[in-house]
Amino acid sequence: MNDKHNLKPLLYSILLFVSLFFVGDRLIGYYLNHLYLEQKKGDFFETTYALKHVKEDLVIFGSSRAVRHYDLSIFQDSLNLSAINVGKIGNTLLYSYAIFSQILTYHVPKVVVLDISPIEFAKSERERGQKSMIDVLLKYQDMPVIERRIKQLDTKELLLSKIFWTYRFNSSMYTLMTNDKGSNKISQSKGFKSRTGTKITKAI
């Protein structure tokens, strides 16, 4: 009897801890999500723009090569079409497919350019691209299209992010706290990020 009686305070303590942890996770997760959606420039803002606000006639998809090599001012001048580059450095076809699928729920571009590198079909690159895509898009799991794309690749990650709201921001907290919420830069660059400087390699 004494043993059972002594267990009650322990069980209450465990229950209290779990409850506080759950509530704390929800509150912090809600705040981080609000902070994330408040970003006015940078990668986070550009991803949100791609998923919710694209209205341009021509849309470019791809990874770093798309981001670095497609100067949209040339497309706009030559074709007389508004254009946006929603490519993302470090991501692959999986990311482009998810973004394109979501855009089609609210906008149909006149022209789509998809830049694909042969290396994206290598097994190691596919695995890396999958991890990168899930890491970026877990924050948008409330969108049915994005939720389906993530679920097709990794149900466990999706489940963890639904149970623990802070989980989806694991790799983003520092940037969220330090990113400048200044003026909207995408109106100027349209997603194009040119390289500066020249890479010099030693002759062999």
> What does 173-193 look like in DSSP terms, one character per residue?
HHHHHHS---S--HHHHTT--
Contact 84, 108 (CB under 8 A): no
pTM over 0.85: no
Q: Average pLDDT for residues 95-115, to the nearest whole number? A: 95
Q: At what angle do helices 2-37 and 43-52 cross, to 10 degrees?
A: 80
- Kindly report the number of other CB atoms within 10 A of residue 47's CB atom: 21
Locate 24 and state its tokens: 């704390």
Contact 132, 95 (CB under 8 A): yes
Q: What is the per-residue pLDDT across 29-69, written as a single tens digit (0 to 9) for each?
A: 999 998 888 888 888 889 999 999 999 999 999 988 888 88
- Would you say residue 204 has pLDDT above 50? no
Q: What is the per-residue pLDDT across 111-147, written as a single tens digit (0 to 9) for each?
A: 999 998 888 888 888 888 899 999 999 999 999 999 9
Question: What residue segments make up the domains of the chain, in order of their start?
Answer: 38-186
Mean pLDDT of the chain: 84
* DSSP-derived pairing of the beta strands 111-114 and 58-61: parallel
Question: pLDDT confidence of 193, banded at 50, 70, 90?
Answer: low
